[in-house]
């Protein structure tokens, strides 16, 4: 028998390809490797396309859940305080949060809705007239550009008219009808109620579905993702309000009537939730309105200075103080994420892309050993409950479940028992 060469050098990684490969194979090794990668890439691409197709079909549900999630992040501190400090039942605290939101929306619609609709209608005409005025000014300076500028603006108008649905909705365009809007609105309210009432239990159910060895890491990563979304949403809302008020006041100081200044402020507030890109678009619109209203280039330049001043104060002072580096993402990454979200889902995608990406980024950083929020390890009243092993959470959950089943209480008796337990906890806290 022929003796094996025990002194043959192993290949990189300890594997000898000369021994493993059949030299009689007519397929070159490089082609075999490329084929292996190719079918895997095809499978992954098909999976991504399938998920995208399902997302398009369920866009109303997905958008409603995302809106409810962002609102729940804002309302959760209030409902948690009602439960922990005042001893309110979770259902009552969640109901107060939902009805408070409804009252706020109805108040805005009744108090300012008509003015906003009329103002936005005037705003659209003013923007169109502003672009025409800007083109006239450029033509006066550069007569050779007249045909190019007019043709370019005509093409832009045609594109906007022909693709209005796509620009405004993307994959969520199916929700443009009144019926779909009402369906999404009602679903958002229901989802918001249960996020506020049972959000922690829903999250624990998701964590228990992961491998047991990863429970603690997944739970802590999810808590930090939630905190990231909360910080981002609350900061953006406050900064958007500051931008809207500041730019609206500057517009009024430059003799813009309130009927136009107020819609400008509303547009600035809404576009401020789209990072970087939104500030540029809303600022440009505000400058156009002032240019048309005053028919004065110096006034438009003053508006430009005012917009830049407000945005510089917001970007260099307010956001660093309020938000710090919580997102841990480069500005280029944010621009690309906004562009990708807008391409996939229109304005809805642009609004949700950054907070979703920031939450995923924070969770991945924690799982890889980089904790963005180390202070959460010391907070007793943090979202998700006090710091402890998730096994203790699971044990407590099943103990309550077994006790409830063993007692065989009727719904009325169970409510009475829960009320007594809450009273005992309040008494213990007061001591």
- Mention every residue, 6+ apart, whose C-beta is less than 8 A from residue 251: 260, 261, 264, 265, 286, 289, 290, 303, 306
Q: Report helix, strand or coil for 111.
A: helix
CB atoms within 10 A of CB 211: 8
Does the structure show a pLDDT above 80 at 370?
Answer: yes
Is the CB of residue 315 less than 8 Å from the CB of residue 240?
A: no
Question: Which of 248, 263, 256, 258 is closest to 294 using CA atoms?
Answer: 256
Q: Is the Cα dihedral 336, 340, 341, 347 positive or negative?
A: positive
Say which residue, 145 or 64, is predicted with more confidence. Answer: 64
- The 3-state secondary structure of 180-217 reads HHHHHHHHHHHHHHHHHHHHHHHHHHHHHCCCHHHHHH
DSSP states along 77-129? HHHHHHHHTT---HHHHHHHHHHHHHHHHHHHIIIIIHHHHHHHHHHHHHHHH
For the chain, the C-alpha Rg in angstroms (whole number) is 29
Q: CA neighbours within 13 Å on the CB side: how many for 376?
A: 19
This model's pTM is above 0.85: no
Q: Which of 7-16, 133-142, 199-208 is predicted with the least confidence, judged by mean pLDDT?
A: 7-16
- Mention every residue, 6+ apart, whose C-beta is less than 8 A from residue 88: 82, 96
Does the structure show a pLDDT above 50 at 319?
Answer: yes
**Dist. CA 311–CA 178, nearest whole Å:** 36
- Mention every residue, 6+ apart, whose C-beta is less than 8 A from residue 291: 130, 133, 134, 297, 299, 300, 303
**Dist. CA 21–CA 35, nearest whole Å:** 16
CA distances from 289 to 126, 169, 204 (A): 6, 25, 51
Does the structure show a pLDDT above 70 at 84?
Answer: yes
Tell me the pLDDT band of 317, cut-offs 50, 70 and 90: confident
The average confidence (pLDDT) of the chain is 76
Q: Scanning the structure block, which residue is given the tokens 């200075």?
A: 305
Give the pLDDT confidence score for residue 204 in this predicted structure. 87
Query: Mean pLDDT, to the nearest integer, of 24-44?
Result: 81
Most confident stretch, 30-34, 97-101, 273-277, 413-417: 97-101
- Mention every residue, 6+ apart, whose C-beta is less than 8 A from residue 128: 157
Query: Mean pLDDT, to the nearest integer, of 423-428?
Result: 78
Query: Mean pLDDT, to the nearest integer, of 118-124?
Result: 55
Tell me the pLDDT band of 190, cut-offs 50, 70 and 90: very high
Largest Cα–Cα separation, the chain: 102
Q: Distance between the two ends of the chain, CA-based, in angstroms? A: 88
Say which residue, 291 or 229, is predicted with more confidence. Answer: 229
Query: Mean pLDDT, to the nearest integer, of 45-56?
Result: 84
Give the pLDDT confidence score for residue 404 in this predicted structure. 64
Give the pLDDT confidence score for residue 375 in this predicted structure. 87
Structure tokens at 156: 């832009």
């Amino acid at each position: 028998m022929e003796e094996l060469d025990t002194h043959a050098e192993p290949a990189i990684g300890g594997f000898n390809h000369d021994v493993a490969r059949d030299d009689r194979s007519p397929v070159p090794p490089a082609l075999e490797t490329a084929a292996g990668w190719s079918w895997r890439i095809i499978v992954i691409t098909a999976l991504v396309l399938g998920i995208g197709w399902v997302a398009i079909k369920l866009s109303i549900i997905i958008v409603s859940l995302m809106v409810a999630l962002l609102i729940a992040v804002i309302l959760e501190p209030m409902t948690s305080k009602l439960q922990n400090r005042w001893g309110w039942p979770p259902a009552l605290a969640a109901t107060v949060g939902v009805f408070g939101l409804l009252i706020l929306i109805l108040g805005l619609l009744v108090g300012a809705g008509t003015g906003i609709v009329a103002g936005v209608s005037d705003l659209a005409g003013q923007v169109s007239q502003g672009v025409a005025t800007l083109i006239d000014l450029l033509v006066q300076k550069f007569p050779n550009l007249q045909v190019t500028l007019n043709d370019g603006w005509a093409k832009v108008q045609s594109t906007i008219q022909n693709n209005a649905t796509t620009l405004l909705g993307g994959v969520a365009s199916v929700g443009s009808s009144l019926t779909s809007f009402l369906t999404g609105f009602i679903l958002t309210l229901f989802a918001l109620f249960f996020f506020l009432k049972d959000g922690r239990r829903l999250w624990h159910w998701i964590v228990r579905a992961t491998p047991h060895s990863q429970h603690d890491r997944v739970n802590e990563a999810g808590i930090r993702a939630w905190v990231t979304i909360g910080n981002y949403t609350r900061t953006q809302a406050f900064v958007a309000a500051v931008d809207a008020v500041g730019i609206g006041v500057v517009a009024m100081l430059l003799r813009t009537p309130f009927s136009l200044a107020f819609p400008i402020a509303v547009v600035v507030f809404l576009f401020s939730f789209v990072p970087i890109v939104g500030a540029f678009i809303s600022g440009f619109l505000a400058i156009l309105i002032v240019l048309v209203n005053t028919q004065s280039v110096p006034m438009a330049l003053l508006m430009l200075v005012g917009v830049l001043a407000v945005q510089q104060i917001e970007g260099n002072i307010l956001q660093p103080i309020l938000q710090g580096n919580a997102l841990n993402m480069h500005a280029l990454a944010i621009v690309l994420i906004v562009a990708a979200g807008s391409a996939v889902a229109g304005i809805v995608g642009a609004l949700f892309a950054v907070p979703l990406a920031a939450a995923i980024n924070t969770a991945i950083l924690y799982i890889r050993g980089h904790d963005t929020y180390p202070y959460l390890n010391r907070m007793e009243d943090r979202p998700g409950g006090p710091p402890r092993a998730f096994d203790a959470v699971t044990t407590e959950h099943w103990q309550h479940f077994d006790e409830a089943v063993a007692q065989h209480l009727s719904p009325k008796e169970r409510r009475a028992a829960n009320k007594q337990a809450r009273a005992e906890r309040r008494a213990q806290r007061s001591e």
